[in-house]
Amino acid sequence: MATTEIAPTGSAPSAERTPVVNDFSIQVATANGSGSQSANTILLRSIFQMGVPVSGKNLFPSNIAGLPTWYTIRASKKGYIARKKEIDFVVAMNPETGREDVFNLSSGAAVLYDEPLKLSELRSDLIFYSVPFDKLVAAVCPEAKLRKLVKNMIYVGVMAQLLNIDMAEVEKALRKQFAKKLKAADLNWNAAKAGYDYAHASLTKCDPFTVERMDKTHGMIIVDGNSAAAMGCMFAGVTVVTWYPITPSSSLVESLIDYMKAYRVGPDGKATFAIVQAEDELAAIGMVLGAGWAGARSMTATAGPGISLMAEFAGLGYYVEVPGVIWDIQRVGPSTGLPTRTSQGDIEFVAKLSHGDTFHPMLIPSTASECFSMATEAFNLAEHLQTPVFVMSDLDLGMNNWMSEPFEYPKEPIKRGKILSKEDLDRLGGFNRYKDVDGDGIGYRTLPGIDHPQGAWFARGSGHNEKGQYSERPDDYKNNLDRLRRKFENARTLVPKPEVVRDESNDIGIIAYGTSHHALVEALDQLKDDHGVHADYLRLRAFPFTPEVHDFIASHPRVYVIDQNRDGQMLNLLKLDIAPEHVVRLRSVRHYNGLPIDGRSVTDDIISQESK
C-alpha cells in the first residue's frame, strides 16, 4: 500500500524536479517535553557527519511540557548557518499546530506527518508523506510509557530514508547521544530502523531534497554557545562562580559545573573553585564583587531581568573598581518579555548600567568560538581595568547548536592586572589606591590578606579621594570621575577590535554585531549576487568603540547598523560616540520579533532603503 498521497488536483510537484542537494531547511514540530530534542540532535549530527554544514535552532515555549515547540535544521552547502525564513520540509508531529505548520509553507514544500492528523487534505500544492507512528512504535517499544519518547526516533529513520542520509551515520550519532545508556540506545536505534524500513517499503520519494556527502565539516565540532562559554571560563581560570537560575543563561553555569567537576579538581582531590547558587541576582553579583575584591576570578551569568536587578551593584563595581565578569545571555524584554526568544535588547542598558555617570566595557561574541575565546579576554580585561566586564551573548547563540572550528587553546596567559605584593609595599612604603600613577586611569590595588601593615585600603561606594578615604570635596569627586573616564577611554585600545571585510565599496558600509553576523554573511552574498550591491562590512566585537569603528563610518557615506532590537540600541550608542557630522550617515536595520535574524530580511531592508 503506497501511502504517499499526491494531491488530487492542481499542479502537484513531482520527483521530476531538479534535485535540491544539501540546501534546505527541515522544521520538526512537536510538543514540549516529548523528548524530541534527542531525535533532532541525532538528525542534525547525521547530516553534519556526512560533511554537510548544518545549524540547528530550537524555538521553544516558556513551559515544562505540553506547549508546541519547533526545531529547525538547516543544511547549507555554502555554509550559511543563520536562520532561513523559508521551510522546505516539515515533520508535523503536533496535533495542536499541524494545520498552521502546513498553511505556513510555501508551495512545493514537503510534509511528513503523523497519520491521524490527516494533513494532506489541507493543501494540494505540497508533497505529503503519511506515517502511522503509533503502529510503528508499538512494534518496537513494548513498554507503553516509553513510546511517547521513542516515537520521535521513528521520524529520524523516515527522514534518513527520504533524504538519503546514511543510516550508519544515524547510528553513530545515536550511539553518541545515548553513550551512557546502552538500553535506551538499542531501543531508539530499533525505532529509527523501523522508520527507515517503513519509508523504504511504503513511501515514494516525491520531493527534491536530498543529502549528498561533502567534506565541509571535517574536524569541526557542534556546540551551543553556553557550553562554549563555560569551557572558556574554565580555561580562563575562573575560581568563584555565583548564579541565579534564569533562562537562557542557566545552561551556561550548569555546563560549567560539569566541566569544573571533571577538570578543575586539584591534586589534593579538592576543588579549585566555588560555585554557589545565590538567592537572587542581587546576591549573585554581590558575591562576584566580594570575590573579585578579595582576588578571585569571579563571574555570574544572567539574562535581562537579572541585569535589571544588578544595576546598583554594577555601579558599585565601577566606582569601587573591582573586577568581575557578567555574562548576559540576552532574551526578549522588557519585563519578563519572551523568556525563550532571542534579542539584543540589553545593549544600551548595560553600557551604562547604574545610576550616576557610568560606563561598562562589553564584549560581544558572534560565534561559539568567540564565546570560548572572549572568556579569557573578559577576565583579563576585568582585572586589568579593575571593573565589571559584560559579555553580551544572546539566546540564539547561547542555546542553539552551532557548527564551529575546534577552539584554540588560549594564547594569553592569565593576567591579574596591577596588584601590589608585600615586597612591592616594602619597597614603596605604602600606596594610594586610586592614584593615576601610570596615566592610564588605572590605580594599583592590594588583595585582602596581604601581610603588610600598609597593605589595606578601604573600598567604599561613597565619595573617596586618591587614598580611598571618605571625601565629599568637590575636587576629589571630580578628579576621581575624570580619571574613571580616562580609564574608559583607555579601554578603547584594549577591547577586541572589530573584524572588517572589505568589498571595495566606497558607498555602503554595514555594521553588525553578535548573532546578526551569520545573517550578514548571507545578506552580503545576496546583495552582491541578486542586486549587484557591494558593501563593506564591520563586525563590532566590543564596546567602547575602537578607532577602527570611527574610521569605518568616516569612510562610508551610508552605514547600515543592524540591531536585533526595536530601538536601534547599538545605533544609539554609535551616535553618541562618533563625530556629529557623521551621525547622518547612519541608517538602521532592526529585527525584533523574537526569532533569530535571517539574511533575507536584512537584504530586503537594505535594498528598500537604498532605493529610496
Partner 1 sequence: MAATATTQPKTNHIGLTVLDYRGSKTTLCAGCGHNAISERIIDAFYEMGMQPERVIKLSGIGCSSKSPAYFMGRSHSFNSVHGRMPSVTTGAVLANSRLVALGVSGDGDTASIGIGQFVHLMRRNLPVIYIIEDNGVYGLTKGQFSATADVGSKLKTGVINDLPPIDTCALAISLGATFVGRSFSGDKRQLHAMLKAALAHRGTVMIDVVSPCVTFNDHEGSTKSYKFMKDHEEPLHEINFVPRFAEIDVDYDPGSVVNVTMHDGSSLRLHKIEEDYDPTNKIGAIKRIMESQEAEEVLTGVLYVNTQAPNFLEMLDMTDAPLATLPERLIRPSREVLEECMEALR
Among positions 443-472, residues that touch partner 1 (CB under 8 A) are: 446-453, 455-462, 469-470
Minimum CB distance to partner 1 smaller for 208 or for 237:
237
Angstrom distances, CA of residue 275 to CA of 124, 131, 251, 382, 559: 57, 48, 14, 19, 44
7 binds partner 1 (CB under 8 A): no
Minimum distance, C-beta of residue 459 to partner 1, in the bound complex (Å): 4
Segment contacting partner 1 by CB under 8 A, of 147-155, 284-292, 497-505, 600-608: 284-292
Residue 59, C-alpha cell as written in the block: 524555538
Segment contacting partner 1 by CB under 8 A, of 67-75, 133-141, 268-276, 570-578: 268-276
DSSP 313-363: HHHHHHHHT--EEEEEEEEE-STT-EEEEE--TTHHHHHT-SSSS----EE
Segment contacting partner 1 by CB under 8 A, of 90-98, 184-192, 313-321, 589-597: 313-321
How far apart CA 131 and CA 118 sit, in angstroms, is: 10
Minimum distance, C-beta of residue 84 to partner 1, in the bound complex (Å): 24
Angle at 44 between CA 43 and CA 47, to 5 degrees: 90
268 binds partner 1 (CB under 8 A): yes
In 157-224, beta strands by DSSP E: 209-210, 221-224
Q: Which of residues 391-430 bind partner 1 (CB under 8 A)?
A: 406-407, 409-410, 413-414
Minimum CB distance to partner 1 smaller for 30 or for 217:
217
Minimum distance, C-beta of residue 224 to partner 1, in the bound complex (Å): 10
Segment contacting partner 1 by CB under 8 A, of 6-14, 92-100, 278-286, 576-584: 278-286
- The residue within the footprint of partner 1, chosen from 296, 325, 362, 512 (CB under 8 A), is 296
How far apart CA 505 and CA 135 sit, in angstroms, is: 60
Task: Tell the residue number behind the cell numbers 519585563, with chain if given.
Answer: 335
Segment contacting partner 1 by CB under 8 A, of 57-65, 160-168, 288-296, 336-344: 288-296
Please give the torsion angle defined by the CA atoms of residues 119, 120, 122 and 127, in that order, rounded to the nearest 10 degrees: 120
Minimum distance, C-beta of residue 44 to partner 1, in the bound complex (Å): 13
Angstrom distances, CA of residue 489 to CA of 382, 465, 482, 577, 578: 15, 21, 11, 11, 14
Segment contacting partner 1 by CB under 8 A, of 19-27, 113-121, 228-236, 356-364: 228-236
Neighbours of 451 (CB within 10 A): 8
Minimum distance, C-beta of residue 583 to partner 1, in the bound complex (Å): 37
Minimum CB distance to partner 1 smaller for 131 or for 375:
375
Angstrom distances, CA of residue 602 to CA of 173, 495, 511: 34, 27, 12
Angle at 32 between CA 30 and CA 33, to 5 degrees: 115
The answer to whether 125 and 14 have CB atoms below 8 angstroms apart is no
Task: Tell the residue number behind the cell numbers 565629599, with chain if given.
Answer: 472
Q: Which of residues 186-225 bind partner 1 (CB under 8 A)?
A: 219-223
Q: What is the DSSP letter of 265?
A: B
Going by C-alpha positions, the residue among 477, 423, 428 that lies closest to residue 450 is 423
Going by C-alpha positions, the residue among 491, 448, 441, 449 that lies closest to residue 466 is 441
Segment contacting partner 1 by CB under 8 A, of 87-95, 136-144, 238-246, 516-524: 238-246
Going by C-alpha positions, the residue among 297, 298, 299 that lies closest to residue 329 is 299
Minimum distance, C-beta of residue 448 to partner 1, in the bound complex (Å): 4
Q: What is the DSSP letter of 453?
A: T
Distance of CA 561 to the CA centre of its chain: 19
For 509, phi then psi, to 5°, come to: -120, 150
- The residue within the footprint of partner 1, chosen from 8, 266, 429, 474 (CB under 8 A), is 266
DSSP helix/strand/coil, 299: strand
How far apart CA 519 and CA 82 sit, in angstroms, is: 5
Minimum CB distance to partner 1 smaller for 222 or for 538:
222
- The residue within the footprint of partner 1, chosen from 80, 129, 313, 543 (CB under 8 A), is 313
Task: Tell the residue number behind the cell numbers 530534542, with chain if given.
Answer: 37
Minimum CB distance to partner 1 smaller for 339 or for 455:
455
- The residue within the footprint of partner 1, chosen from 17, 116, 263, 473 (CB under 8 A), is 263
- The residue within the footprint of partner 1, chosen from 73, 112, 289, 578 (CB under 8 A), is 289
Minimum CB distance to partner 1 smaller for 433 or for 492:
433
AA letter at 300: T
282 binds partner 1 (CB under 8 A): yes
Minimum CB distance to partner 1 smaller for 276 or for 481:
276
Minimum CB distance to partner 1 smaller for 426 or for 530:
426
- The residue within the footprint of partner 1, chosen from 250, 298, 344, 465 (CB under 8 A), is 298
Rg (CA), the chain: 27
Going by C-alpha positions, the residue among 277, 326, 336, 280 that lies closest to residue 304 is 336
Minimum CB distance to partner 1 smaller for 323 or for 568:
323
Minimum CB distance to partner 1 smaller for 209 or for 319:
319
Minimum CB distance to partner 1 smaller for 96 or for 412:
412
The binding track of 348-387 with respect to partner 1, each residue x by CB under 8 A or -, is ----------------------------------------
- The residue within the footprint of partner 1, chosen from 291, 374, 399, 533 (CB under 8 A), is 291
Minimum CB distance to partner 1 smaller for 238 or for 519:
238
How far apart CA 272 and CA 238 sit, in angstroms, is: 9
- The residue within the footprint of partner 1, chosen from 123, 175, 216, 264 (CB under 8 A), is 264
- The residue within the footprint of partner 1, chosen from 215, 279, 475, 504 (CB under 8 A), is 279
**Alpha carbons within 13 A on the beta-carbon side of 471:** 16
Minimum CB distance to partner 1 smaller for 241 or for 495:
241
How far apart CA 116 and CA 335 sit, in angstroms, is: 40
How far apart CA 323 and CA 504 sit, in angstroms, is: 41
Minimum distance, C-beta of residue 457 to partner 1, in the bound complex (Å): 7
How many residues make contact with partner 1 (CB under 8 A)? 73
